Homo-oligomer: A and B are copies of this chain.
Amino acid sequence: MTVRAAVAGASGYAGGEVLRLLLGHPDVRIGTLTAGQSAGMRLGQYQPHLLPLADRVLGDTTADELAGHDVVFLALPHGKSAKIAAELGEDTLVIDCGADHRLESAHAWLKWYGGDHAGTWPYGLPELPGGRDALKGTKRVAVPGCYPTVSSLALAPALANDLVEHEVVVVAVSGTSGAGKSLKPHLLGSEVMGSLSAYGVAGSHRHTPEITQNLSKAASSQVKVSFTPVLAPLPRGILATCSAALKPGRTLEDVLAAYAKAYDAEPFIHVLPSGTWPTTAAVLASNAVQLQVAVDPDVNRLVVVAAIDNLTKGTAGAAVQCMNVALGLPETAGLTTVGVAP
């Protein structure tokens, strides 16, 4: 089986990472590549690391250009995907790396993004309870945000197994590529290198409602999420420190058992051996999630630290993984748990 794939938004970071992975996918033939302002240019101008595609010319991001493929990856600014998906029709698998179809609540969409909600698509995190089944055979996938991916995977087993209270604190440190190629002063190299900064503090980051949605589902009841993202000087990687008060009577052993049950059979999620802690370097360019759990005895609090590559498992790797699940390909095809280090 050869899957014909198109990528819209091929000049950006998410689109580039989708292409990097598809170039190594045994079952995919890369078709049309499109862009916004960069249409008409060679891909090599924007993605010099994708040498085999360097001479491809970028088309316009329209349904006409993208038609005729088995799968279309959308790596677009939010608000753009619903219309294109509708025009592509129900036979095309559309995988949206953007935010448009992640939230289930139109009210939340309005509050956090503004405007009309485009509807909810199956959520592309197979490792959440029920997540994989919802993706099999689907023609629409909403790829999760990078922070929600790592935070939800870090805390879902504890919440699903009634081990912690329903108020969690997440501080997630991220590389800069999560912000995309937008030309903002605070993303300049001179500003980023040698500096740490918090942003979207006190629940003001748009990923907060998505984390809340995922964790509340896992807990089968409302979960309060205090989420703070921190920008650090590296291109890729998120390290999330997630904690919650342990419920009375629960122990570290209960926690370890819950995470083993949830993740031992997962190909991409690895609970590290006792005493070792995750680093983002170890998951660089891979689809792996490395995590570790601990209980702080003095405050009786569960602390989970998890690392992903925000562009791979946090975006493009998840997109490819979901394509594999949706099309019935081996879930790990074209993906790896081997990172690039040092």
**Residues in A lying within 8 Å of B, measured CB to CB:** 13, 16, 20, 23-24, 42, 44-45, 47-52, 167, 169, 171, 173, 175-177, 179, 181, 183-185, 187-199, 201-204, 208, 212, 224-226, 228, 230, 232-239, 241, 243, 245, 270, 272-273, 276-286, 288, 290, 292, 294-299, 301, 303, 305, 307, 336-342
**Closest Cβ–Cβ distance, residue A172 to chain B (whole Å):** 9
Q: List 18 A-B contacts (CB under 8 A).
A: A13-B190, A16-B341, A24-B338, A51-B270, A169-B169, A176-B190, A181-B188, A189-B189, A189-B193, A190-B342, A193-B233, A194-B237, A195-B342, A196-B238, A201-B294, A202-B303, A225-B299, A226-B303
Contact A171 B338 (CB under 8 A): no
Given contacts A190-B176, A194-B194, contact A338 B20 (CB under 8 A): yes
* B residues in contact with A199, CB < 8 Å: 277
Contacts of A281 in B (CB 8 A): 49, 191, 194-195, 197
Within the complex, the shortest CB–CB distance from A237 to chain B, in Å, comes to 6
Alpha-carbon gap, A285 to B339, bound state (A): 10
- B241 and A280 contact, CB distance less than 8 A: no
Identify the 6 closest CB pairs spanning chains A and B, nearest first: A189-B192, A49-B339, A195-B281, A202-B294, A171-B171, A196-B239
Cβ–Cβ < 8 Å partners of A307 in chain B? 196
Minimum distance in angstroms from A94 CB to a CB of chain B? 25
Q: A48-B341, A341-B16 are in contact. Are A196 and B173 (CB under 8 A)?
A: yes
**Chain B contacts of A235 at CB under 8 A?**
189-190, 193-194, 342
| A216 CB to nearest chain B CB (Å) | 12
Beta-carbon contact of B288 and A285 below 8 Å: no
Interface centre among A199, A285, A292 (most CB of B within 10 A): A285
CB neighbours of A204 from chain B (8 A): 294
Contact status A279-B48, CB under 8 Å:
yes
With A48-B278, A50-B338, A208-B298 given, name 6 new contacts (CB 8 A): A49-B283, A49-B286, A167-B299, A173-B232, A224-B298, A224-B299
Question: Closest CB-CB distance, A263 to chain B, in whole Å?
Answer: 13
Chain B residue nearest to A285 in the complex (CB): B340
Q: List the B side residues contacting A272 at CB < 8 Å.
A: 48
